Amino acid sequence: MTDATPRALARPVDAPTRMMLKWSGAAIAGAMFAVFAGQAFGQDVTVSHGYSNFGELKYPADFDRLDYVNPDAPKGGEISTWALGTFDSFNQYARDGNPAALNTIGSEALLTSTLDDPYGAYCFLCTTLEYPEDLSFVTFNLREDVTFSNGKPMTADDVEFSFNLFLEQGIVEYRRIVEGFIDRVEVESPYRITFYFQPEASFRDRVGFAGGTPVFSKQWFEETETRLDKATKSPFMSTGAYVLGSFEPNRQVIYERNPDYWGEDIPFNVGRNNFDRIRTEYFADRTAAFEAFKTGAYLFRAETDPKEWATGYNFDNVDNDSVVLDTPSDRTVGSALSFVFNLDRPTWQDARVREAVGSMFNFEWTNKTLFFDLYQRVDSFWPNTELASTGTPSEGEVAILKPLVDKGLLPDTILTEEVTGSVEMDADRAAPTRRVFRQASALLDEAGWVFGDGGFREKDGETLKLNIIQFNPLYDRIVNPYLENLKRLGIDANLERIDRAQYIERRRSGNFDMTNHGFQMPFEPSIGLQQWFASKTADNSSRNLMRLRNEAVDEIIPYVIEASTLDEMNTAVHALDRVLMSLRFAIPQWYKKEHWLAYYDVYGRPDELPPLGVGLYDFWWYEEDKAQALRDKGVLR
């Protein structure tokens, strides 16, 4: 249950682009369909249209179009959807402000990825890239036909400027994990740029780090005196197919297709960028938003509330087939929704206390009673994939984990026992079983938290209190039964519902005991893991909200980053996943294996969707004849 458009619905070249997300979880190191062209410092230099760490690229240099698009998709029309809350900025990258929906839809990077090639990255704003065997540098040969939305050409100066912008003004957690990565950047000509890497830069992240950054107009930034770290009243000028059309603060945002878009006819864009307009309507609450959908105020809805999906879609426009209910499977890494502790607070630094508190959340009852059995239990930080750890550790995992056990950083049991994220519960009752209560009580007793005269557990004169912060009232029905279980255990547990602005600020500043968090991991995890779990990002990170500082985790992450084969990476991720689950800093909630889509029957999409996304704003299209049929029926105006 979230209030944002699911990540997999968006186009893959949004910024932060899938390439930028990919490099932060894994970049690229091996080229396919490449030729050798000269030497650099005694090494052969490879020239290629793309890279892949693992296996061959799906698409050759001379491909005609992506396999999953409709090359004959019509252009025109509007797709309209909704968002909850308010916005006061168009800058996704600043810590201040609340960015508008889809504010990065006009951004593009040198490299792009596709929704059917999890490990591939392809030249997009470039024609080819060059690199030596040791990947000490990568050179991008830029397309000479790329223009910004104002018609000015994009050059290597813009690429260099944009790259340095993120290094100098990007959020602290980003700068902290990439400092020392780059030796220098050289603009060799208006359409040729080379990135030189420091020897210690992680091998698999190098090319993606250089090529995954969105490219903005240097001239526009300088003339407008815009900063990356400050809220803005318009999107950054970039090269993408969509530009801001109009907006009403906190009410509506409309993006329009740029009629002079440079990339309209390139193979990557065949069958894509089909809508003339993309409109988002804002609502103060979900009920008002759903009622507006029923009347046709907007025409596409990605549902996130299982109760609404199970019981709410029985209105007239569904019954008369004017609204389509669509449930395509989601084959991406599942978003592992969880409660997380603030580990900076002394009470939650005891793993026994965290385990006891976590055992009071009854997923089975919640799923059956509140979610109509539509969710799956989170059992990993990589649910729905082969990257999830299962069973007892493999021989390869033991090789990684045993030295940490020998150092006293992990318990012996990590080598022999299966790690699970939550306790199996009775689906027919909200309260845990007596056995679970006894186990949790024993853990708290062992940790020194015993019942006091006031009916709550105490230690050293302090009452065991837990405050959960939320801004979405939908979570009340989930949190309140959990609070009752915690109180029965002797914990003074409360829900504090605050507005969205306070919610964002208190999470950033670490002013909470427990909050919600969604862990969205990539298929190719790498240096981005440091933003999520490394000690060095714990003080200031939008991802490491739990303030995790754990030496064992810090020592395992490099195994993932330095993995050179898919088997090595999978083994290292299994070991990391196992340790992360064992630390109990997150109380697993749920994820789902399908998208819940409802839309008026005016849109078309390919029969077969790609495995890594729905591609709503990417390759769907508007069908005027269907829209006219609904207008003739009086369904739409």
Q: What pLDDT shows up at residue 26?
A: 34
d(CA 486, CA 475): 16
19 pLDDT exceeds 80?
Answer: no
The DSSP bridge partners found for residue 196 are: 137, 184
Superfamily name and number for 336-591:
Dipeptide-binding Protein; Domain 3 (3.10.105.10)
Q: Model confidence at 1, in pLDDT bands (50, 70, 90)?
A: very low
pLDDT tens by residue, 492-524: 999 999 988 899 889 989 999 999 999 999 999
12 pLDDT exceeds 50?
Answer: no
Q: What pLDDT shows up at residue 39?
A: 57
18 pLDDT exceeds 80?
Answer: no
7-224: CATH architecture: 3-Layer(aba) Sandwich (3.40)
Question: What is the widest separation between alpha-carbon atoms in the chain?
Answer: 81
d(CA 23, CA 58): 18
Task: Calculate mean pLDDT across residues 595-616.
Answer: 96
| Residue 102 Ramachandran class (φ > 0 left, ψ -120 to 50 alpha, else beta) | left
Cα-only R_g, the chain: 25
What average pLDDT does the chain have? 92
Please spell the DSSP secondary structure of 412-473, one letter per residue: GGGGTS---SS----TT-SSPPHHHHHHHHHHHHHTT-EE-TTSSEEETTEE-EEEEEES-G
455 pLDDT exceeds 70?
Answer: yes
pLDDT tens by residue, 561-575: 999 999 999 999 999
In the chain, where the domains are located:
7-224, 336-591
Q: What pLDDT shows up at residue 171?
A: 86
25 pLDDT exceeds 60?
Answer: no
Q: What pLDDT shows up at residue 558?
A: 97
Q: What pLDDT shows up at residue 41?
A: 59
The CA–CA distances, whole Å, from 211 to 22, 197, 219 equal 11, 13, 20
The CA–CA distances, whole Å, from 451 to 140, 457, 463, 490, 555 equal 66, 4, 9, 7, 39
Is there a contact between 553 and 530 (Cβ–Cβ < 8 Å)? Answer: no
Chain-centre distance for alpha carbon 402: 32
The residue with greater pLDDT, 323 or 42, is 323
Q: Model confidence at 42, in pLDDT bands (50, 70, 90)?
A: low
Helix (H, G, I), strand (E, B) or coil at 519: strand
Q: Model confidence at 65, in pLDDT bands (50, 70, 90)?
A: very high
Q: Which ranges of 64-204 does DSSP label H, i.e. alpha helix? A: 156-169, 172-178
10 pLDDT exceeds 50?
Answer: no
Place of tokens 């168009």: 90
pLDDT tens by residue, 315-350: 999 999 999 999 999 999 999 999 999 999 999 999
